[in-house]
Amino acid sequence: MSTMANEYRPDYSVHPGEYLEEVLESRSIQKNDFARRCGLSPKTVSQIINRKASFSTDIAVQFEKVLGISAEIWLGMLSSHHLHEAREKEHEQLRKAVTWAEKFPLRDLRKLGIIGRTRDPSIWIGQLLRFFEVSSPEAWEDVYADKAIAFRRSPSLQATTYAIATWLKLAESEAESVETDPYEGAKLRQSLQQIRSLTLEDPEVFEPELRRRCAECGVAVVLVPELTGTRISGATEWIDSGKAVIALSLRHKSDDHFWFTLLHEIGHVLLHGKKQVFIENDSDRSEEYEQEANEFARACLVPNAEYSTFTKAGTFYEKDIRQFAENTGIAPGIIVGMLQHDGYIDYRWHNGLKRRFELLTADG
C-alpha cells in the first residue's frame, strides 16, 4: 500500500520581474524605453523587477505586445512563483509540527509506503496529512476529535489514539475499493449459517467466500495488519448508511480468535448504531454493547443449549472436543478457545486443535 505522490516539484521559482530583467538585458533594451513602449512609468517597471509592484493580467498583455512573449507565460510564471512561496511557507510550518507527528506509528507508515524516509520533516509530515486527507495538524485534531474521544473511553486505548486512528484510516482506505451491495440487515442474518460453515475451510477458500457473502449484504470485510501500539483485534464502523466496514487484524493468529472477532463485529453491525465506531482490543469488554456483541458471537458459533450440555458432561479430551465440533459443524479450535476462555480447560491445553493464520505485517 502506498500513497506517496510521485511528482516533480522544483525547489525554486522565477518571478516575472526576474525574468523580465534577463530578457531586457539579453535584448539590450533600456528599462526607460521599455516602460514608454508599455505605457508604464520607469518606477513601475523597476518595482516589478524588484518584486515590489503587483503583476496583473493587464501588464502581462502589455508585455506580450512589446516583447512577443505570451501573456500566458508571464501569468504562469507568476502563478508558479506564488505557489512556490505558499509551499515554502507551509514547509516552515510543518517543520514545527514534528512533536505532533511523532505521535503516529511512523516506522509502520514508512514500511507501508505511506510516508517517505526523507529527513526533511516538512515532506513526510505533508505525506502524513495527505494520507489522512486533512490540510494541517489542527485540521486533523478537529476532524478526528470525536473518534479520539471514543478511543479515550477505554483506559487501555488512551496512549494509542493516533495509532488507532491510523489503523482505522488504513481500513477505510481499503474498504473504499471494496464494491458492496446496499446494506441489508435481514440478508446478513440469513447468511450467518453459511458464514459459520466457513470455519471448517482453509483461508484460501474461506477468505474470498467470506468477503463475497458479506459484500452482498453491504459489508466490506478488510484485513489490516496490526500497527505498533494498537493492540486491536477488530473494528466496526460505517462509511455511510449503506455500507459497513469490518476490519480485522488477525492479532492472535488463531482460528478461534479470528472467527469470534468476526462474528463479534457482525453483531455490532446488526445490533448497534451506524454512527458509532467499535474497537476490539485486549481490554475487558464490560460495556453493554460489547457484552451484547459477545453473546451474539457465541450463540452464532455454538448454540448455547448444546454448549451447556457438552460442558456439563465434564470430559474435555481431544476426542471429545473433535466429536462435539463435528456434531455442531464447526472447527474444533473454536471449541478449544471457548473452553479456555470459560475456564473449563487450561490455556495450554489442546492448542494443537487450533489452526494458525498469517497476515502480512508492516514488516512485509
Q: What is the mean pLDDT of the chain?
A: 87
Question: Does residue 10 lie in a domain region?
Answer: no
User: Do 67 and 156 lie in a common domain?
Assistant: no
User: Do 129 and 202 lie in a common domain?
Assistant: no
Q: Count structural domains, the chain.
A: 3
User: Do 156 and 304 lie in a common domain?
Assistant: yes
Confidence of residue 278 (pLDDT cuts 50, 70, 90): confident
CATH code for position 46: 1.10.260.40
Q: State mean pLDDT over 20-26.
A: 93
Q: Does the pLDDT value for residue 231 go beyond 60?
A: yes
Q: Does the pLDDT value for residue 193 go beyond 50?
A: yes
User: Do 102 and 89 lie in a common domain?
Assistant: no
Nearest partner of 128 among 162, 159, 160, judged by Cα: 162
User: Do 57 and 123 lie in a common domain?
Assistant: no
Domain stop point among 82, 115, 143: 143
User: Do 282 and 348 lie in a common domain?
Assistant: yes
Contact 157, 284 (CB under 8 A): no
| pLDDT at res. 150 | 56
User: Do 111 and 37 lie in a common domain?
Assistant: no
User: Do 175 and 119 lie in a common domain?
Assistant: no
Lowest average pLDDT, out of 14-23, 80-89, 109-118, goes to 80-89
The strands making up 219-223's β-sheet, listed across from edge to edge, are: 219-223, 243-248, 232-240, 278-281
The residue among 288 and 298 whose pLDDT is bigger is 298
Confidence of residue 250 (pLDDT cuts 50, 70, 90): confident
Question: Does residue 307 lie in a domain region?
Answer: yes
Say what the pTM is.
Answer: 0.78
Q: Could you give the percent of the chain with pLDDT greater than 70?
A: 89
* Residue 249 domain boundaries: 146-353
Q: Could you give the percent of the chain with pLDDT greater than 90?
A: 62
- Residue 180 C-alpha cell reads as 458492496
Q: Does the pLDDT value for residue 118 go beyond 90?
A: no
User: Do 171 and 310 lie in a common domain?
Assistant: yes
User: Do 322 and 175 lie in a common domain?
Assistant: yes
Question: Does residue 211 lie in a domain region?
Answer: yes
Report CA torsion sign: 356, 359, 362, 364.
Answer: positive
| pLDDT at res. 188 | 95
Q: State mean pLDDT over 48-75.
A: 92
| pLDDT at res. 148 | 58
* Cα–Cα dist 181/308, whole Å: 38
Q: Does the pLDDT value for residue 295 go beyond 80?
A: yes
Q: Does the pLDDT value for residue 10 go beyond 90?
A: no
| pLDDT at res. 290 | 86
The residue among 193 and 147 whose pLDDT is bigger is 193
- CB-based burial label for 28 (10 Å; 0-12, 13-18, 19+): exposed
Q: Does the pLDDT value for residue 207 go beyond 80?
A: yes
* Cα–Cα dist 26/41, whole Å: 21
* Cα–Cα dist 351/332, whole Å: 10
Instruction: Return the number of other C-beta atoms located less than 10 Å from residue 106's C-beta.
Output: 19
| pLDDT at res. 144 | 81
Q: Does the pLDDT value for residue 364 go beyond 50?
A: no
User: Do 172 and 63 lie in a common domain?
Assistant: no
